[in-house]
Amino acid sequence: MTVVKDQTPDTSERIRRAAASLFRTRGFNGTSMHDLAAAVGITKSSVYHHFPSKQALLAEIIELTIGRVLPQVQEVAESAGPASERLHRALVLHTTAALRDGDSVACFTEEGRYLSPEFMTAHVAKRDRYERFFRRILEDGITRGEFLPQDPRLSAMALLGMCNAAMRWYRPDGDHSPEAIAAHFADLAVRGVSVLGATRFQRAAGAA
């Protein structure tokens, strides 16, 4: 006899999903534990049974979110091959995740600033480690002559900021899939930082 596993999210997961959505739309400070309980359809004491505080809940959402994407980006950053290809792959991973799980990623990129010192240190360390993988790819590309001389830290923040901005206007019923948007943004980014892209721009400007 085949046993069909129950696919219904457990209560903790339902709370995390509702919290991510409310934190994104109302803000962390604008959402109460009562709001969370009402959204999930449970009592406030039940929310506290699963999460001791709103801070702990936000911290867990962020931890799980970065934990899903960071290993993939790390694998790309540490792989062999041209820096341009690795940057493209890393940005596609980042942007696709941001659009597929916008509520949770918004907690990481926007609401993490409201974490208390108890949780902030771990958050900043994970965030900086994540950004460093993008800086590493950029540094490799500069060293190899693939990318223009530039400040890798500023460039990494600019590229990630561009990709994160798509969460503000992306709609699941829109004209483009997350994968298509991610690929387009990655194309723009690679052309923007590459020597080849600059050469093409210079040729076009000269022809004009």
Each residue's pLDDT tens digit, 19-32: 999 999 999 999 99
Q: How confident is the model at residue 49 (pLDDT cuts 50, 70, 90)?
A: very high
Q: What is the mean pLDDT of the chain?
A: 90
Q: How confident is the model at residue 201 (pLDDT cuts 50, 70, 90)?
A: very low
| Helix, strand or coil, per DSSP, at residue 175 | coil
User: pLDDT value at position 9?
Assistant: 63
Evaluate if residue 140 carries a pLDDT over 50.
yes
Domains of the chain listed by start with CATH number? 9-52 (1.10.10.60), 59-207 (1.10.357.10)
Evaluate if residue 194 carries a pLDDT over 50.
yes
Each residue's pLDDT tens digit, 103-139: 999 999 999 999 999 999 999 999 999 999 999 999 9
- C-alpha to C-alpha distance for 180 and 207, rounded to whole angstroms: 31
Evaluate if residue 207 carries a pLDDT over 50.
no
Percentage with pLDDT > 90 across the chain: 88
Q: How confident is the model at residue 202 (pLDDT cuts 50, 70, 90)?
A: very low
User: pLDDT value at position 196?
Assistant: 73
| Under 8 Å between Cβ of 130 and 105 | no
- Average pLDDT of 49-75? 96
Each residue's pLDDT tens digit, 72-94: 999 999 999 999 999 999 999 99
Instruction: Pick the range with the lowest mean pLDDT from 5-9, 59-63, 94-98.
Output: 5-9
User: pLDDT value at position 197?
Assistant: 56
- The residues, ordered by sequence, that sit 6+ positions from 187 with a Cβ below 8 Å of its Cβ are 88
User: pLDDT value at position 204?
Assistant: 39
| Helix, strand or coil, per DSSP, at residue 10 | coil
Evaluate if residue 7 carries a pLDDT over 90.
no
Residue 29 CB neighbours (<10 A): 10
- The residues, ordered by sequence, that sit 6+ positions from 125 with a Cβ below 8 Å of its Cβ are none
Each residue's pLDDT tens digit, 143-171: 999 999 999 999 999 999 999 999 999 99
- Convert 77-92 to b/e letters by CB count within 10 Å (16 or more is b): beeeeebbebbbbbbb
